[in-house]
Structure 1
């Protein structure tokens, strides 16, 4: 196997659309968040480039779907082996382009290896049902590909979240046109495209075109695209849903979150603090499942807040490519400024700053705010930054009410030594994912991932949900003899 996959294809200044090529939209410069220096250059797609790619994907899809299932499965298994061989090179790109620490990069790589094996395994699973019917009639429901699936992926975990939609879509027999976030087009696009290309995916089945909002809208509106999978902010997700609905397309929206971590008065405090730290500071809090609200029973709230502040002051901040840090840069200085706005407005409204609260370009110090009330921006808005927001509650009923006091509905965690009590609370939370005695940031390719309300449209990625999302039912009947109708 190739031990230097990233230099196996000359992709600088190009995109993948049938082959590596320049585009009419010009070029896109990739900036390293930790340094602000140029990191790479790729082609940038125009709406016309997107149109051509969608036409090419449609032409290639039927031959891909017609390949024997064993041949398609081999592509994913070979890709998993190639990724194992190229871990170090892939990890360096993830660290440098996303600003994530090395363990975060390794988590993405391990997760994608898992997803590749799951994609191969999908091809040996049943994909239909024999339905009840009368004598002489066979009634069958089977899953068939949509055709061309458009995937729009985000900047935060780009290698993983691109793969989470692209791989099962391909496994189901679809072609894919992928538009990665323009801030992370290498880890969100090039890495997977090179991997699958080297593993033997036929040309034209996957198109990878970085681009701005105009390219994304062209993809959603394209007549050859029958499904859109979008992962990103709720604001953009509303626009994607509106466009897809106008064109009568299936759309899967995995959006933002304002997730609650409930710490009950009988919780193991040390483990709760450990979990809460991970939930809010992993990858600088730039995760849709990050704990945006720490709801702590009043008996423990002050101790919990002080322990969190101690942890925050001890976490090193810096360039994860050159230093052993815990907190890297946010994706852009604009994002760091928005985090600072939320923090400062909340302090002005009475929140108590216990640690952090300062910005240095793209870097933001891990921050702890106590005495947070539901009217403050830090309680209401998705932060996407390294901020622990702590609100006290008195009763279990109040905890549930506070947790559900949001338009979002993605993830929640409940810490308690009393499993029955914790389960009783968990069952009342309006979320798609809930974890008892764990924090909010959990991911596994075998589970159905998705949220409710402003966190998504009820769609799911992963495990048993993949066949539901990336195929549609077709009903077929076969009669031994054609019936004689009375008309």
Structure 2
């Protein structure tokens, strides 16, 4: 019997134990083949109500648990990702369409998220304050209570665990709503890991479902914080609803990240990095390089080299073949990608390579002569598409890169590091990499975007996680009861 044995979760949701789903079942589908991998339980708004109430009750005891015991649970969870890596890797490959290397990266980050979170319970959670009165005054960080986590399909394990692990470590309970398309990797896997790690029952709930379940999670009075990762359009709705209920919402949203290639860049190194930035995991990453801004002196060579690289990248079933790109998650996403590519060509972009698909396998695509009138340049494609535009001066490229509603990641390739840093300062993004492409992630580093890409760095590192998943309380202590003139 495997770690993720389907008999345990078939048609069920996790509320501290595996219980029948009130919302019926949905098929877990392998996008590369269309095969059924299992049947996951679907949650309802009623499930959310029951889980949130139970989570709130369990959280009080968990918050009072000695810090070293909470830390030990997170350390054991970290070890379990490695112990069961072979089985978990297979699920990431088959359910989410990841190539094995991307699956290994997710497992590595998942373990690191737990190890980093295990240090939070012993982290300093407050500060002493001066006071005008004869008393001890302090600002103390306390658990928020119940945290609602809504995670997407594209990196289902990372984008769930990066909220779940620190929230639990800091004394909260969590209700997790993974995307139903990747509910095993983004939900069942976490439930099983924390079961085995000894997390007390009732502190983690996994409720796959649709928008109605997400709405119920945001509206439930027991849930005090919402951690959402997804599209900008959905994030606006989440933020609006959370604001109506006076809840903090941490929003990590879309992107259309620029990779800037300055005139002194090494052309061979740039195209390798550029291909990775646009085509890794079929471009289904919020940090994907969505705009290639290349100095005019390198432009023609860059386009030709990038297209040559793209044309030779193998696309296919990552579970059976040695491929660089796997399948798009579903037909709706594939069709959106193709509509943007087709509309971009109609708007004047040159289709250098790609623009074709077979089933859910979309060829890596390079579009030349991209500009602000080209849809694939203006919008987040979320697919393996690389629009390339030219520029003539540093001032021009600074303006081009900043001319976007998004502000997530930025890459600048140059031999002059100081020049790259100075340029990055002119472009508002939450992340910037000099001499690297735009797709990077480390568990201890702050992660988040600005503008339409989200509400800033709310993930990664002690400072961001403590800020995200605790509340600040002012506490004073006096030796005797204060006297007043009444």
Normalised by the shorter chain, which TM-score bucket? over 0.9
Displacement of 1:17 in angstroms is 1.0
Output the TM-score relative to the length of structure 1. Answer: 0.98
| SS of residue in 2 equivalent to 1:10 | helix
Number of equivalences: 485
Equivalent of 1:133 in 131, 134, 138? 131
Where does residue 363 of structure 2 map in the other structure? 365
Residue in 2 that maps onto 1:259: 257
RMSD after superposition: 1.2
User: 1:274-300, CA deviations, whole angstroms, 9 ceiling, x for partnerless residues?
Assistant: 111110000000000000000000000
Q: Does 1:295 align with 2:258?
A: no
C-alpha offsets along residues 396-445 of structure 1, whole Å, 9 cap, x if unaligned?
Answer: 01101111111111000111111121111100111000011111001011
Determine the structure 2 residue equivalent to 1:482. Answer: 481
Alignment of 1:34-183 (within 5 A): 34-134=32-132, 136-183=134-181
Contact (CA 8 Å) 1:114, 1:445: kept in 2 or not?
yes
How far residue 479 of structure 1 moved from its aligned partner, in angstroms, is: 1.5
Describe the SS at the equivalent of 1:123.
helix
Within 2, Cα distance between the matches of 1:135 and 1:99?
62
Shift of 1:315: 0.4
Q: Which stretches of structure 1, 4 residues or more, deviate above 6 A after TM superposition?
A: none
Partners of 1:134 and 1:480 in 2: CA distance = 15
Residue by residue over 1:223-271, the C-alpha shift from the partner in whole angstroms, topping out at 9 and shown as x without a partner, is 1100000000011111100110000001100000010000000011111
1:373–1:391 contact (8 Å) kept in structure 2: yes
Task: Give per-residue Cα distances to partners, 1:452-487, cap 9 Å, x unaligned.
Answer: 111002351110200000001001011123332234
Q: Identify which range, 477-486 or 395-404, moves more after superposition.
A: 477-486
- Give the C-alpha shift of residue 272 in structure 1: 1.1
CA contact (8 A) 1:9 1:194 kept: no
The answer to whether the Cα contact below 8 Å between 2:81 and 2:111 also exists between their aligned partners in 1 is yes
Contact residue 137 and residue 475 of structure 2 kept, 8 A: yes
Q: Aligned residue for 2:467?
A: 468
Structure 1: distance between partners of 2:248 and 2:49: 19
Which residue pairs with 1:6 in the alignment? 4
Query: 8 Å contact 1:253–1:459 — kept in the other structure?
Result: no
Of 215, 218, 226, 2:216 maps to 218
CA distance in 2: counterparts of 1:299 and 1:262, whole angstroms: 13
Q: Which residue of 2 aligns with 1:458?
A: 456
Once the two structures are overlaid, the 10-residue window that deviates more, 456-465 or 306-315, is: 456-465
Counterpart Cα distance in 1 of 2:316 and 2:7: 32
Instruction: State the Cα distance separating 1:342 from its structure 2 match.
Output: 0.6
Match of 2:275 in 1: 277
Pairing of 1:431-446 with structure 2 (within 5 A): 431-446=429-444
Aligned residue in 2 for 1:421: 419
SS in 1 for 2:11: coil
**C-alpha displacement at 1:6, in angstroms?**
2.0
The alpha carbon displacement at 1:135 in A equals: 6.5
Q: What pairs with 1:309-320 in structure 2 (closer than 5 Å)?
A: 309-320=307-318
SS at 1:76's partner residue?
helix
SS of structure 2 residue aligned to 1:29: strand
Mapped partners of 2:477, 2:15: distance in 1: 40
Match of 1:206 among 196, 200, 204: 204
Distance in 1 (CA, whole Å) between partners of 2:357 and 2:127 is: 57
The match for 1:398 is 396
* Ranges in structure 2 where 5+ consecutive residues have no aligned partner: none
Distance 2:133 2:338 in 1: 70
Does the CA contact (< 8 Å) of 1:18 and 1:203 recur in 2?
Answer: yes
1:76 Cα offset (Å): 1.2
CA contact 2:30–2:96 (8 Å) conserved in 1 = yes
Matches of 1:49 and 1:387, distance apart in 2:
40
**8 A contact 2:430–2:457 mirrored in 1:** no
Confirm or deny that 1:343 pairs with 2:346.
no
Distance in 2, Cα, partners of 1:357 & 1:18: 46
